[in-house]
């Protein structure tokens, strides 16, 4: 069985993430969508909320397992015996960062390969940070995230006020 990990903060999950997930499912028999507990930025949703939203949004995709990890992705991949990492690329700036990460991960976990999928042009500009900023300012995010996620963003920003 050919398996891969699609790691990320998913804070929140967007249609861009879902596009990469759906396309990765054409390449692999099983996909672990792995939520990073900690990342370079402070999360709006905690890890349990992000995992729960992903499980609900991805419930109709039986080849997916939603999980979470803390620490190094390479260590997680070794523990799960996974050889492939999926990463989405939007722009050249993404490639610079992702190449560094892919090379580092392959050094930390020899045999771990990264598969890059280019984001469709309809999602090229889309990022979780942008979605959060739109939601924070009261904008409509329905074109960018599933309805469940849009509602959770609205609820979350109401609590902040």
Annotated active-site residue 41? The verdict is: yes
Query: Catalytic residue among 9, 43, 123, 128, which?
Result: 128
Annotated active-site residue 90? The verdict is: yes
Which has the closest alpha carbon to 127: 46, 41, 32? 41
Query: Catalytic residue among 9, 17, 43, 132, which?
Result: 17
Query: Catalytic residue among 30, 90, 120, 136, which?
Result: 90
Contacts of residue 107, defined as CB under 8 A and 6 or more positions apart, other chains included, come to none
Annotated active-site residue 17? The verdict is: yes
Query: In degrees rounded to 5, what are phi and psi of residue 119?
Result: -65, 140
Query: Catalytic residue among 38, 41, 79, 107, which?
Result: 41
Count the neighbouring beta carbons within 10 Å of the beta carbon of residue 41.
10
> Distance between CA 72 and CA 87 in Å, rounded?
15
- Residues identified as active-site: 17, 41, 90, 128
């Amino acid at each position: 069985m050919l398996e891969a990990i699609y790691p990320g903060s998913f804070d929140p999950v967007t249609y861009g993430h879902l596009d990469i997930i759906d396309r990765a499912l054409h390449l692999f028999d099983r996909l672990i969508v792995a939520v990073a507990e900690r990342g370079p930025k402070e999360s709006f949703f905690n890890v349990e909320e992000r995992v729960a939203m992903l499980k609900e949004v991805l419930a109709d995709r039986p080849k997916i397992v939603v999980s979470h990890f803390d620490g190094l992705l390479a260590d997680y991949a070794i523990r799960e015996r996974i050889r492939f990492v999926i990463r989405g690329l939007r722009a050249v700036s993404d490639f610079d960062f992702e190449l560094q990460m892919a090379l580092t991960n392959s050094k930390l976990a020899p045999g771990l390969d990264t598969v890059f999928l280019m984001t469709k042009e309809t999602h090229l500009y889309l990022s979780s940070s942008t979605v959060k900023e739109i939601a924070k300012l009261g904008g409509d995010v329905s074109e960018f995230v599933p309805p469940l996620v849009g509602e959770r963003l609205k609820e979350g920003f109401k609590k902040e006020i």
